[in-house]
Amino acid sequence: MSKEQKYAGVDISKDYLDIAVAESTDKWRFGNNQTGIKKAIKEFRKKSPVMVVFESTGGLEIDLWLALNEAGIDAAPINPRQIRNFAQALNQQAKTDTIDAQIIAQFGQVIKPKPQVVPDTQGLKELVARRNQIVEMISAENCRIKAARQNAIKTDIRANIDWLEKRRDEISKEILQAIEDDPELKDKAKLLQSTPGVGPIMTSTLLTELPELGTLNRREVAALVGVAPFNHESGHWKGKSFIWGGRGSIRRVLYMAAVAATRCNPVIRVFYQRLIKAGKAAKVAIVACMRKLLIILNSMVKHQTHWQHFTPLFDTNSHWV
């Protein structure tokens, strides 16, 4: 008889890995370094079969995740918001690293997430994330220069903006080169960018932040990104539907792509104009266009169909699964 799978939760910080096992008193703290990770792997092997669950922490989890994949141990990164919601549902008010690890382990045991491997696009993902950080810094500096009164301060801020813009452009070239050097990503990028309104930034974001693109149906991909409307009603009362959750980093870029598509993409433009004529608010119409554009791109990747060959098969009322 095969052993029942155990679930280990790991709370990851810059310096430590706090580990707890569901329905067990086992708990450990190791350093978040190669030595500590080796010790953690040793303990996980003793618990085999085990699923190791941890929060996606913006990069701090990568070394552990890679080590787990290499050791053949199931690993599942989880959106931190899901863990927080789960803790609230359990009415868990106290918060320590050990308690967090226990909550993560319980989450794994209840939800039973699917194991995942570190995506091949991790290096590209870090470049895209860095470019986004620089864009945010440029935006912040532009706000500061408007508020500055002294010329010396303005000059200093302007110099920093110039440097940041130069670095942004350099990283953009590195992103394009990374895609060019990978045959699979290159082919997928050409497919996506054949769509009017979809440029390099949208493409690189989808390639790194949405590896599931082309493997899901239209409802699943819309919900995953966070552009699927959720009903808000109770009894006889009905409120407005709204979007919630999902991957905000994709949604921000998808918004800009949808706005551009309302001008240059014939399918999205007609769809947007029809919604506006029907009395929909501009923001509601744009969100609908975001969803429509995402569904189109998902279908193009799924069927490996270029935009020129795709549009004759697609009208503004049809749905692709």
> What are the tens digits of pLDDT across the range 246-292?
678 889 999 999 999 999 999 999 999 999 999 999 999 999 999 99
CB-based contact 253:202 (threshold 8 Å) = yes
Q: Cα–Cα distance between 187 and 50 in angstroms, integer?
A: 37
CB-based contact 194:308 (threshold 8 Å) = yes
Within 10 A of 311 (CB to CB), how many other CB atoms are there? 16
Residue 316 has pLDDT above 50, yes or no: no
Residue 95 has pLDDT above 90, yes or no: no
CA distances (Å), origin 78, targets 4, 104, 285: 22, 9, 31
Q: Give the DSSP H/E element, type plus range, for residue 11.
A: strand 6-12
> What are the tens digits of pLDDT across the range 153-201?
999 999 999 999 999 999 999 999 999 998 989 999 999 999 999 999 9
Helices (H), ranges, 112-195: 122-147, 151-180, 183-193
Residue 231 has pLDDT above 50, yes or no: no
CA distances (Å), origin 195, targets 264, 300, 312: 10, 9, 13
When pLDDT is averaged across residues 36-64 and rounded to a whole number, the result is 90
316 or 132, which is more confident? 132
pLDDT value of residue 96 = 82
Handedness of CA 191, 197, 199, 203 (dihedral sign): negative
Whole-model pTM? 0.69
When pLDDT is averaged across residues 140-161 and rounded to a whole number, the result is 94
pLDDT value of residue 19 = 94
Residue 140 has pLDDT above 70, yes or no: yes
pLDDT value of residue 311 = 63
111 or 237, which is more confident? 111
Percent of the chain scored above 70 by pLDDT?
90
pLDDT value of residue 310 = 67
> What are the tens digits of pLDDT across the range 199-228?
999 999 999 888 888 888 888 888 888 887
6-111 fold: Nucleotidyltransferase; domain 5 (3.30.420)
What would the two tokens of residue 24 be? 């067990």
pLDDT value of residue 232 = 44
Residue 238 has pLDDT above 70, yes or no: no
Residue 233 has pLDDT above 80, yes or no: no
pLDDT value of residue 152 = 94
When pLDDT is averaged across residues 139-147 and rounded to a whole number, the result is 94
